[in-house]
Amino acid sequence: MLAAARTAFAERGYDGASIRSIATAAGVDPALVHHYFGTKDALFLAAVQVPADPDDFLPEVLAAPPDELGAAVVRTVLRVWDGPARPGILALVRSAVNHEWSARLLREFVLARIIRRVIGTLDMPVAEREARGALVASQVVGLVMTRYVLRLEPLASAPPDDVVAAVAPTLQRYLTGEVDLPGRRD
């Protein structure tokens, strides 16, 4: 079931894959998928092998006022990465760098389970939210790569409050500020 789910999510994305199609590909009844995984979200997390469930940390971000969303995102990224899920997330990121299949799953996880939910709190057209979400993702992935994978100093050992103070304004601008959005040149 997990192999069929990984293939479905990688090929069709979270929204395009269904429990029924995954069960059919695995040669089992959809009720069996529900029995072992419960929900599509739980199946997706198991398929991607994510060591941290966004439902455990996103409510705090989603509750932030729009003008504090950048800081809330950075604070949460640091808390999750500095917590017990770090080795598993690091393995997932390293795998995504080396394997396109893993990159597709991670991209879909970040988009479907995190970025869309965060930018969905903003009152703006969908195309603008998507462009801003891509910019936010670029900043967060860059932060993760430099602090936790490449371990570039002084960022790697900087206290979390210093990182939030340095990175949050850029994230906030990407979320709600003036920015030339990709694909929107006149």
- What is the band of 11 on the pLDDT scale with cuts at 50, 70, 90? confident
The domain made up of 2-48 is a member of CATH 1.10.10.60: yes
Q: Give the N- to C-terminal CA distance of the chain in Å, as an integer.
A: 47
pLDDT band per the 50, 70, 90 thresholds, residue 24: very high
- Whether 81 shows a pLDDT value over 80: the answer reads yes
pLDDT for position 51? 67
Q: Residue 185 above 70 pLDDT?
A: no
> Contact, 85 vs 52, CB < 8 A?
yes
- Quote the pLDDT of residue 98: 76
Which CATH number, 2.40.128.260, 3.30.70.20, 1.10.3720.10, 1.10.357.10, labels domain 54-176? 1.10.357.10
Q: pTM of the entire structure?
A: 0.74
Confidence of residue 162 (pLDDT cuts 50, 70, 90): very high
Q: Do 125 and 163 meet the contact criterion of CB atoms below 8 Å apart?
A: no
Indicate if the pLDDT at residue 17 is higher than 70.
yes
What is the arithmetic mean of pLDDT over 120-124?
A: 90
Domain with CATH 1.10.357.10 in the chain: 54-176
Residue 186 in this model has a pLDDT that exceeds 60: no
- Classify each residue of 20-49 as buried b or exposed e, where b means 16 or more C-beta atoms within 10 Å of its C-beta: eebbeebeeeeeebeeebeebeebbbebbe
